[in-house]
Amino acid sequence: MNSRTVRQLVPGPAGAIECAIDAPERVDEAGLALICHPHPQHGGTMDNKVAQTLARAVLALGWRSVRFNFRGVGASEGRWDEGRGEIDDALAVLAALRREHEPLLLAGFSFGAYVAAQAAARLPDDAKAQRLALVGPSTQKQQLPAVPADTVVIHGEADDVVPLAATFDWARPQALPVTVFPGTGHFFHGQLALLKNVLVQQLRTGS
């Protein structure tokens, strides 16, 4: 993401997982923020612009940002596992890089939001994430679990990949607020600066 980004391989269930780690400028880190990228079979990588925007937002709030490539993407070993193994990949990165008792923020875009939500649900009670941020979550093709009431959910009104209605259908039974960007498509073209600002504001408000 910048010249200070550290690239690192960590062990995963299907082989090595490629990670990109960015440290905040402040000394007192808020904790670890793990960011999951969009669908690997549709060109998704940890360098996706929305995933990088998520990283910039959490860095601004003092979190250490970790992006990673799912199995079979970039330098990550293995191959696509229809979402099952990709959740295992996220948990493996946490196991490798999360410090003991370190606060955790889980975030993801599109398919990555599904993975982040599922990973959050699998964590034991004594290791739960403090916050969850889901951008354009894949609520039509994937089965997202229920999420905490303070989860940040952002969706584009004109999303042509994941219909806004699908995310409303998932959020409604939970009485979960959804922030809608008017006229915005799935990839938030032209809206990345606003997306970062809204993420910073909403994550700061609930912290």
Intervals of the chain under pLDDT 50:
none
Return the percentage of the chain with pLDDT > 70, whole number: 99
**Cα–Cα distance measured from residue 144 to residue 110, given in angstroms and rounded to the nearest whole number:** 11
Specify the CATH number for the domain of residue 70. Answer: 3.40.50.1820
Between β-strands 131-135 and 104-109, what pairing exists: parallel, antiparallel or unpaired? parallel
pTM over 0.85: yes
Residue 207 is predicted with a pLDDT of 54
Residue 1 has what pLDDT? 72
Q: What angle is formed at CA 96 by the lines to CA 92 and CA 102, rounded to 5 degrees? A: 105
Output the pLDDT for position 145: 98
DSSP secondary structure of 8-35: EEEEETTEEEEEEEE--SSSS--EEEEE
User: 127 lies in a domain?
Assistant: yes
Domain range enclosing 166: 6-205
* Alpha-helix runs per DSSP H in 47-83: 49-60
pLDDT tens-digit map of 105-151 = 999 999 999 999 999 999 999 999 999 999 999 999 999 999 999 99
Number of domains in the chain: 1
* Residue 1 counted as domain residue: no
